[in-house]
Amino acid sequence: MNKKLQTIALIVSLLSLFALSGCSVVEGLNGNDEETSETLHPVLLNGKWGYINSSGNMVIESDFDEARAFSDGYAAVRIGTNWGYVSEESKNLAIPVSFSVAGDFSGELAPAQLPGQSYGFINKSGDFVIEPEFDFAGAFSEGLAAVRSDGLWGYVSIDGTISISLSFSDAQPFSEDVAAVETFEGWVYIDKSGAEQINPNFQITAAGEFSDGLAPIQTTEGWGYIDKTGNPVITPNFEEAGIFSQGLAWVRDDDYIGFINKSGDLDIPYQFAEVKSFSENMSAVRVSGDWFFINRSSGLIVIKDGFFDAESFNDGIARVQIGDDENPRFGYVDKSGEYVWYPTR
């Protein structure tokens, strides 16, 4: 075992000792710092999930069997088979654990389902304000949420009215004032009145969300990008394509992934097996079996320690996994590659 791994192993052991003795891990490692308004991040400690801030201080104790990221100030947490929500402001369980499904909050509402019932939408008190009457429901985006009943999709508004009738085979969230929906003839884009906004003179077999004015679409020739007029501004010839983020989008050619700019030029060459979209000028990329981080401006690997898995940066830190899925340990690194939370399990 090399010196670096010995150091990590020692710290993991110390974390376990602190937890078993009833001491605060945060107080033991970082001091009793005052709370900040930083984004909170889920972390696994002694088999339970809690939340740290971006400085690595534990702010919500690890009491949950599963914990998701915060959205609109609330995060879904699971105890046993049921879900509730913790509040980023109060740092406590704000909505009791009672739902079989708990979606992300957006626009003060979240899709949720009680055991044995249909999907509806709850407010931040945990009360259903849009009655549970749907077979499935997505989160709100730009004031509308995709819902499905009897196999057909449409959109509901925040006041609970069906704003766009349930008449589509599939439906994506709204982005940049339009949403991709699947009709009998293929995919088109509609506006918030439900009117067809983009319907190119070629068939779209799959469609993504708009970002930076462009959306990835699939045709019989492959994946490319259209603008708001429906013109194919980047020719469909990729095997896969992601949405644009910070001016770049990942695309796959054969077995490897690179990044293109909005002109369709290859900014970062094909060399990765898997990637995450750019966030905060960093992207997690997989080379062979390990994940690393590259910088947006140079396209070079800047965090060179390999991880079993890695997530996107959020508020200056990114979650990483060491150990395989049979024995995972999760930690957080900053943009220099230093741990702000050493991997725990």
In a domain, 299, yes or no: no
Q: What residues does 324 pair with on adjacent strands?
A: none
In a domain, 344, yes or no: no
- pLDDT confidence band for 37 (50 / 70 / 90): low
| The pLDDT value given to residue 17 | 32
Report the distance separating Cα 324 and Cα 248, nearest Å. 30
Measure the CA angle with vertex 192, ends 189 and 194; round to 5°.
65
The CATH number for 235's domain is 2.40.10
Q: Is residue 301 part of a domain?
A: no
Q: Looking at residue 54, what is its pLDDT?
A: 96
Are 51 and 60 within 8 A, CB to CB?
yes
Tell whether the model's pLDDT for residue 208 goes beyond 80: yes
As for how many domains the chain has, the answer is 1
What's the pLDDT band for 38 if we cut at 50, 70, 90? Answer: confident
Within a 10 A sphere around the Cβ of 338, how many other Cβ atoms? 10
Domain membership flag for residue 215: yes
Residue 242 domain-assigned (yes or no): yes
Contact between residue 225 and residue 232 where contact means Cβ atoms under 8 Å apart: yes
Domain for residue 230, yes or no? Answer: yes
Whether the pLDDT of residue 235 is over 70: the answer is yes
Strands 128-134, 119-122: pairing kind: antiparallel
The stretch 244-251 carries a mean pLDDT of 98
Angle at 301 between CA 295 and CA 305, to 5 degrees: 125
- pLDDT of 297 above 50: yes
Domain that holds residue 198: 190-272
Whole-number Å distance between alpha carbons of 147 and 145: 6
CA–CA gap between residue 308 and residue 118 (Å, rounded): 38
The Cα angle at residue 29 between residues 43 and 55, in degrees rounded to 5: 55
Q: Tell me, what DSSP letter sits at residue 345?
A: -
Q: What is the pTM of this model?
A: 0.86
The pLDDT value recorded for residue 308 is 98
Q: Note whether residue 256 is domain-resident.
A: yes
pLDDT computed for residue 323 by the predictor: 94
Identify whether 204 is part of a domain.
Answer: yes
Give the percent of the chain with pLDDT over 90. 88
- For 145, the token pair is 């949420």
- pLDDT-based confidence at residue 19 (cuts at 50, 70, 90): very low
For the chain, give the longest Cα–Cα distance. 68
In this prediction, residues 291-300 reach a mean pLDDT of: 97
Mean pLDDT of 165-184: 97
Residue 144: pLDDT band with limits 50, 70, 90: very high
What residues contact residue 316 under an 8 Å CB cut-off, 6+ apart?
54, 280, 334, 335
* Residue 22 reports pLDDT greater than 50: no
Q: Which of 31-40, 50-59, 162-171, 199-208 has the lowest mean pLDDT?
A: 31-40
Considering Cα of 78, then 79, then 82, then 87, what sign does the dihedral take? Answer: negative
Whether the pLDDT of residue 4 is over 50: the answer is no
Say how far apart CA 220 and CA 61 lie, in whole Å: 51
Among 174, 173, 196, 192, CA closest to 183: 196
